[in-house]
Amino acid sequence: MKQIEFKNVTKTYNPAKGRYGLLTQALGGNLNRIIGRKLKEERIVALKNVSFSVERGETLGIIGKNGAGKSTILKLISKITYPDGGEIEARGRIGAFIELGAGLHPELSGRENIFLYGAILGMKKKEIEKKFDEIVDFAEIKRFLDIPIKKYSSGMYSRLGFSVCAFCDPDILLVDEVLAVGDINFQEKCLSKMLSFTKEKSIIFVSHNLEAIKSICSKVIYLEKGKIKKIGSPDVVIKDYLKEATEEQI
Amino acid sequence: MKKWFLELWKFRELLWVFTLKEIKIRYKQTILGVAWAILQPAALTIIFTVIFGLFLKVHSENIPYPIFAYSALLPWTFFSTAVSFGALSVVNNSGLVTKIYFPKEVLPLSAIGAAFFDFLMASLIFILMMFIYKIPITLNILFVFILIPATLLFAIGISFFLSAINVLFRDIRFVVPLVLQVWLYLTPVIYSFGQIPEKYRVLISLNPLVGLIQGFRDVTVLGKMPDLNLTVFSLVVSLAVFFLGYWFFKSKESIFADVI
């Protein structure tokens, strides 16, 4: 069964909007349109005609340079942002661990944050209560449960975030390069947790850690400038990626 | 629109958790804590009593000026807090908007939920004042169960509009306090509706808060029926603003993460 499917997905961003969000400018823009003057609008292309699918139980790795569009794919799947063209389908509950500290509030305690983040991920209070001890154990934050997490280290932040995501029982788990802040032991723990998912869940894993990708992914996409450069088994794709990276350096 | 309500219902626990979060963090690292919820309308009541009750001798419909002022400042403070926090709610939570999927109307709704909590706290003082000033209570007080929900809907609707526009244009942040200041004077808070010269009354009544706030004062401390024309008008406007605001918010929601 296909859990995630991308069909010719294109996503562009307007770099000006929002950064210069002034009322006067918007009115000016409308005025220009009325008198027929066309303003040049350059849009940044984040993804162009991207198609792929992820089966149930499959783990997909995404590699590529900074700005290649890796995170955009995750954001599109989790419906944080929407595509300009093409179709996206994602079935089931999504656990997205995309950015460090997303969904956590610095002024609240670790305990309160577990409930806050759990609710954001769509868990019911009872479910969270049931999983609470497991989450705390996995995150190794028992001693700090009742202090505001603004006092936490970034490693603790990431442990807390990943644990809630992993235990919210998602059908699709999205993990971005956020594990990097945890220490080696925790990274190992997360990878083996993800590996234990691979039977019945789908995972998309974005990382620059090629070893980690190799160890858990069954398929890898190599993205370049918003296009799929190569898709296939981890060994082959990673080899290509490394070859091109070294060629560029020379 | 039914789809939106259904999804919102699915996320009701999130709305509850967010509202609790709003309430908790609002008073974190403050010495007086929740007392601030009461101090705001109370401080205004004292200032208004001195200036308008004592110095300018504003007519207060035969009840002591402090409770006359407080009975209107209570719903007014709720409305103005709800709108000020609601308008900024989406932008203030941009971290969530750009990183996590959930129906974004949860943000203004939880901001207003927190303001409603403040309102309930401040109501305790109101009840206490009713006792101290020995205000007789009549059955008309039951009208608050229409007036308060209507005020709530009106505040939510306005916040839907403002919070969505604020994502695109941050000017809203400066517009809201200014408009609220003017709005306070256009609403019978300091004075009573009856003191407005007859020829201006229709014009002033276009402000839906007139019916809601004067109505609240009428049914609580004055113990009389609210002006039904005004009440019905306010109710209709509140409902319209709520639904239009919701529609507007949802139609802009999909671009929030890109332009915020």
Mean pLDDT (chain A, rounded)? 83
Asked if B168 and A120 come within 8 Å (Cβ–Cβ), the reply is no
Provide the pLDDT for residue A19.
45
Least confident of A227-236, B82-91, B208-217: A227-236
As a whole number of angstroms, the distance between CA B37 and CA B15 comes to 21
Nearest-by-Cβ selection for A13 from B28, B29, B258: B258
**pLDDT of B170 over the 90 cut:** no
| Residue A178 pLDDT | 67
**CB A49 within 8 Å of CB A83:** no
Closest CA to B172 of A161, A68, A22: A22
Q: What would the mean pLDDT of A55-66 be, rounded to a whole number?
A: 90
What CATH number did the domain enclosing A212 receive? 3.40.50.300
Q: What is the mean pLDDT of residues A24-44?
A: 61
Comparing alpha-carbon positions, the chain A residue that sits nearest to B259 is A18
Of the candidates A98, A169, A99, the residue with the CA atom closest to the CA atom of residue A134: A169
pLDDT at A22: 54
**Partner-chain residue, chosen from B169, B254, B258, that has the shortest CB–CB distance to A22:** B169
Say whether residue A36 is in contact with chain B using an 8 A CB cutoff: no
CB atoms B98 and A80 under 8 Å: yes
In angstroms, the CA A168 to CA A156 distance is 18
For residues B175-193, average pLDDT: 95
Q: What is the mean pLDDT of residues A78-86?
A: 88
**pLDDT band per the 50, 70, 90 thresholds, residue B235:** very high
Distance from CA of B13 to the nearest CA of A (A): 7
Residue A111 has pLDDT above 70, yes or no: yes
User: CA of A119: which chain B residue's CA is closest?
Assistant: B14
> d(Cα B79, Cα B149) in Å, to the nearest integer?
12
**What are the residues whose beta carbons fall under 8 Å from the beta carbon of B205, sequence distance 6 or more?**
B211, B230, B233
A181 touches chain B (CB under 8 A): no
> Is residue A98 less than 8 Å (CB to CB) from chain B?
yes
Terminus-to-terminus CA distance in chain A, angstroms? 44
Main-chain dihedrals φ then ψ at residue A174, nearest 5 degrees: -110, 125
* Chain A partners within 8 Å of B21 (Cβ): 105, 108, 112, 116
Asked if the interface predicted TM-score (ipTM) of this complex is over 0.85, the answer is: no
Stretch A158-171: mean pLDDT? 86
At B158 the pLDDT is 97
Average pLDDT over chain B, rounded to an integer: 92
Optimal mutation site among B13, B98, B173, B256, interface A, most CBs of chain A within 10 A? B13
- Identify which has the larger pLDDT, A16 or B130: B130
**B-chain residues within 8 Å CB-CB of A112?**
21, 24
- What is the per-residue pLDDT for A20? 46
Alpha-carbon distances, residue A166 vs A162, A169, A201, A205 (angstroms): 6, 6, 11, 13
Spatial strand order of the sheet with A59-64 comes to: A94-97, A172-175, A202-206, A59-64, A219-224, A227-232
Domain count, chain B: 1
User: Which chain A residues contact residue B13 at CB under 8 A?
Assistant: 119, 124-125
The mean-pLDDT minimum among A14-23, A57-66, A193-202, A222-231 falls in A14-23
Confidence band, pLDDT 50/70/90 cuts, at residue A30: low
3-state secondary structure chain A: CEEEEEEEEEEEECCCCCCCCCHHHHHHHHHHHHCCCCCCCCCEEEEEEEEEEEECCCEEEEEECCCCCHHHHHHHHCCCCCCCEEEEEECCCEEEECCCCCCCCCCCEHHHHHHHHHHHCCCCHHHHHHHHHHHHHHHCCHHHCCCEHHHCCHHHHHHHHHHHHHHCCCCEEEECHHHHHCCHHHHHHHHHHHHHHCCCCEEEEECCCHHHHHHHCCEEEEEECCEEEEEECHHHHHHHHHHHHHHHHC
Q: Which residue has the higher pLDDT, A23 or A241?
A: A241
In chain A, residues with a C-beta closer than 8 Å to the C-beta of B11 are 122
Shortest Cα distance, chain B CAs vs residue A92, angstroms: 13
Determine how many CB atoms are found less than 10 A away from the CB of residue A234. Answer: 19
Number of domains in chain A: 1
- Write out the two tokens for A198: 């691979």
Domain that holds residue A34: 2-249
- Does the pLDDT at position B247 exceed 90? yes
Provide the pLDDT confidence category of residue A187 given band limits of 50, 70 and 90: confident
Tokens, residue A85: 């063209």
CB-based contacts of A144: which residues, under 8 Å, 6+ apart? Answer: A110, A151, A152, A156
On whether any CB of chain B is under 8 Å from the CB of A21, the answer is yes
Q: Which residues of A touch B99 (CB under 8 A)?
A: 80, 96, 98-99, 102-103
Q: Is B259 in Cβ contact with A18 (below 8 Å)?
A: yes
Q: Cβ separation of A112 and B24 shorter than 8 Å?
A: yes
Residue A240: Cβ-neighbour burial (10 angstroms; 0-12, 13-18, 19+): middle
Domain span including residue B200: 2-259
Q: Give the pLDDT confidence score for residue B227 in this predicted structure.
A: 93
Highest mean pLDDT among A156-165, B59-68, B70-79: B70-79
Task: List CB contacts of A69: < 8 A, sequence separation 6 or more.
Answer: A11, A46, A47, A50, A223, A225, A226
- B95/A107 Cβ within 8 A: no
Size of interface A-B (CB pairs under 8 A): 83
Q: How far apart are CA B126 and CA B129, in angstroms?
A: 5
pLDDT > 80? residue A82:
yes
